[in-house]
Amino acid sequence: MRVPFNRVAASEVDSARSTLAALAVSVGDGLAAGAERPGLRALLDQHAAAVRDSLDAGLRPLTLAALAGYAEGVLAGASEQGWQPTGAPIDWSDPDWLPIRLLAVHALARALDVA
């Protein structure tokens, strides 16, 4: 059975929420760091704008499922390039591209989930 284009199956919502919850655990402390560091906040805003542009958020509503899929794609691409998660805390004083991008996805998802 196909799901109508304007609806998402409950299992897909659960999967998206699971992906975003894992993302929150790995980068969530970056939001607090961004509140304390204007430079980090500016980077976060730039990355969030790029994520929204990538997902055509100006043309269609941004969804948790789209953000989860985006995060999974970014992580898959990083893995293909040899990146492996370390499990170590992220140094938000000088973060690489990947943690900032994932933090932007987390921030966008958090804003959607609260609204």
pLDDT at 4: 46
Q: How does residue 88 score in pLDDT terms, banded at 50, 70 and 90? A: confident
Nearest to 71 by CA among 29, 28, 106: 106
What is the per-residue pLDDT for 7? 53
Confidence of residue 69 (pLDDT cuts 50, 70, 90): very high
Give the confidence band of 10 by pLDDT, cuts at 50, 70, 90.
low
Q: Is 52 exposed, middle or buried (CB count within 10 Å of its CB: 0-12, 13-18, 19+)?
A: middle
User: pTM of this prediction?
Assistant: 0.84
Query: What's residue 61's pLDDT?
Result: 87
